[in-house]
Structure 1
Amino acid sequence: MEVDSPIGIIDSGAGGLTVVKEMLRRLPQEPIIYIGDNARCPYGPRPAEEVKEFTTEMVSKLSDMGIKMLIIACNTATAVALDDIRAQFPFPVVGVIVPGARAAVQGSRLGNIAVLGTAGTINSGAYEDAIRGFSTNSVVYPLACPEFVPIVESGQYHTEYASEVVERTLLPLADVPFDAAILGCTHYPLLQEHIAKHLPAGVQIISSAVETVRDVEAILQEKQLARQSNQPAEPVFYSTGEVDAFRLIVEDWLSIDGPDVRHIVL
């Protein structure tokens, strides 16, 4: 693997752009190839075996493109496919669950942590396992938020409708004594302004995307794969779905004019 090779990022759709945003901020010199499986999004309600199949298809494409590292930016895919992908491919593979869990344990004074995620992620118990790997005393309050991803994928995340859906979805947490909340899906930071408004004051909101990129940076240094350049690299984006709609989200969320967005068939 060459240091100038790209880092691959995969997601069920647009959610992984939150990881890209943090990559552009912390590691702008690193080339990125992103695949969003918008045509088959969301992954949350799908059977685990189907998610594994879709994830492997995306990673195989990126492997053929010569990536030096992979970020599975989808929490659902991380929960069910991370170990399989690591066993199949030779490059380092980073998921988004363990970094978010670690940050939540470190940031919670009470040890009471809410996890917001897709049905697939919540049902897998992956965050509970990861959190208890860092602290056996932590209490976890998982909440599936099935309406969040469709709002983001349809570009409605700035709307009043989005705020209403978030408020309704978070009602089960109204009387729960937590002081940290993990955004356990990389789509959710696009709804963070609404989420913060409808959570109790003082709750620390943890973005798994931000924490994951910190881990990526450390692994690049450890394995001597960091690109030594002062020139920012231009990311390339692929979508299995409607390219123009995806381009609008890329432009809005990443503030990139004329991003390189292409269609891909898996």
Structure 2
Amino acid sequence: MNRQQGPIGVFDSGYGGLTVLKEIVKELPQYDYIYLGDNGRAPYGIRSFETVYHYTLECVQHLFRMGCHLVVLACNTASAKALRTIQQNDLPKIDPERRVLGIIRPTTEIVGNHTRSRQVGIFGTSGTVNSQSYPIEIEKFFPDVQVFQQACPMWVPLVENNEYNSEGADYFINKYIRQLLVQSGDIDTIVLGCTHYPLLADKIQEHLPPGITLLSQGELLAKSLAGYLRRHPEMQAKCSTGGGRTFYTTDDTETFDRQAGIFFGDSITSRHLAL
């Protein structure tokens, strides 16, 4: 590997970003990747903007020290609460040649292409919904699109406790779908605005009325990243292409490895990162 090259960093507050990494690897298998899950301080969704910003910046700097020139925030909360400040205030001081990308924009810049009614729904964590990031970003690209949001606080625990195929999951999926659709009966496109939610996608689709399109972020971000690297050959040249995968967690590695397989779809062996 050229010493000027390094892996692509993928960061999340916990496990959910592994559903994104899975899609990135499928789209761009040739690159090396480092995944960092800050499980020791999760969940981020209940924390303040300031705390999420400091935690995210600390993890991004660790990935930079590991040789990453490009870091993807595969976390809606980190993208909503920390990305802009890191891009505008921190990167110019740390290294203006490095890049940090988020997960929200790849979704918001294409969602208007999928809706005919111009009414879009967002399922997200309370933190993401309260940040208003999706309505703000969608308005920039598609000012004619109305956005309706629904927080789904029970969905992440269902996934992390391996209950996403249970009857309890059916109850809470149906509950939040009803709460979203009562806001508008004309919603024809729904974004899964949390990286845990793809594991619930099949059940969500079962409970949705016919004709509603469900958008999952991992695939959208993977295609967006591929496009970004094509448009920025100078960054592409800095990404090493050994096909390696390295996983770090700030919590217990045994627990992480056991849970991570649910999200990544394959067994992994992680390393501990002390913060």
TM-score w.r.t. the length of structure 2 is: 0.89
**Separation (CA, whole Å) in 1 of partners of 2:104 and 2:4:** 26
Trace 1:64-143 onto structure 2 (pairs within 5 A): 64-87=65-88, 88-89=90-91, 90=95, 91-143=98-150
Q: Which runs of 5+ in 2 are unaligned?
A: none
- 1:232 Cα deviation from its structure 2 partner: 6.0
The aligned residue for residue 208 of structure 2 is 199
**Matched position secondary structure for 2:35:** strand
- 1:21 Cα deviation from its structure 2 partner: 0.7
1:217 and 2:226 correspond: yes
Query: How many residues in Structure 1 have an aligned counterpart in Structure 2?
Result: 265
The aligned residue for residue 244 of structure 1 is 254
The aligned residue for residue 18 of structure 1 is 19
Distance 1:157 1:242, change over 3 A: farther
The aligned residue for residue 171 of structure 1 is 178
RMSD: 2.2
Assess if the C-alpha contact under 8 Å between 2:138 and 2:145 holds in 1.
yes
Assess if the C-alpha contact under 8 Å between 2:181 and 2:187 holds in 1.
no
Which string of whole-angstrom CA distances, capped at 9 and with x for unpartnered residues, describes residues 243-266 of structure 1? 223212332333334x23112122
Distance 1:108 1:18, change over 3 A: same
**Separation (CA, whole Å) in 2 of partners of 1:3 and 1:211:** 29
Assess if the C-alpha contact under 8 Å between 1:12 and 1:41 holds in 2.
yes
**Separation (CA, whole Å) in 1 of partners of 2:26 and 2:260:** 15
- 1:136 Cα deviation from its structure 2 partner: 1.2
Which string of whole-angstrom CA distances, capped at 9 and with x for unpartnered residues, describes residues 18-74 of structure 1? 111111111011111111112222211211111111111111111111102111111
The aligned residue for residue 41 of structure 1 is 42
**Matched position secondary structure for 2:219:** helix
Sequence identity, in percent?
35
Q: Which moved more, 1:170-179 or 1:116-125?
A: 170-179
- 1:228 Cα deviation from its structure 2 partner: 10
**Separation (CA, whole Å) in 2 of partners of 1:203 and 1:2:** 48
1:256 and 2:266 correspond: yes
Which string of whole-angstrom CA distances, capped at 9 and with x for unpartnered residues, describes residues 79-108 of structure 1? 111112213233122111111112221101
Assess if the C-alpha contact under 8 Å between 1:103 and 1:206 holds in 2.
no
**Matched position secondary structure for 1:170:** helix
Q: Which moved more, 1:82-91 or 1:112-121?
A: 82-91
Q: Which moved more, 1:217-226 or 1:56-65?
A: 217-226
**Matched position secondary structure for 1:205:** strand
**Matched position secondary structure for 2:82:** helix
Q: Counterpart of 1:82 in structure 2: which amino acid? A: L
Q: Which runs of 5+ in 1 are unaligned?
A: none
**Separation (CA, whole Å) in 1 of partners of 2:25 and 2:237:** 14
1:160 and 2:167 correspond: yes
Which string of whole-angstrom CA distances, capped at 9 and with x for unpartnered residues, describes residues 222-254 of structure 1? 22233699x761311111223223212332333
**Separation (CA, whole Å) in 1 of partners of 2:238 and 2:50:** 39
Q: Which moved more, 1:25-34 or 1:215-224?
A: 215-224
**Separation (CA, whole Å) in 2 of partners of 1:244 and 1:131:** 39
**Separation (CA, whole Å) in 2 of partners of 1:64 and 1:156:** 37
- 1:126 Cα deviation from its structure 2 partner: 0.7
TM-score w.r.t. the length of structure 1 is: 0.92
Q: Counterpart of 2:232 in structure 1: which amino acid? A: K
Distance 1:61 1:111, change over 3 A: same
Distance 1:141 1:76, change over 3 A: same
**Separation (CA, whole Å) in 2 of partners of 1:94 and 1:228:** 15
- 1:2 Cα deviation from its structure 2 partner: 6.5
**Separation (CA, whole Å) in 2 of partners of 1:2 and 1:166:** 48
Q: Which of 226, 230, 246 is the aligned partner of 2:236?
A: 226
Q: Which moved more, 1:207-216 or 1:20-29?
A: 207-216
Q: Counterpart of 1:21 in structure 2: which amino acid? A: K
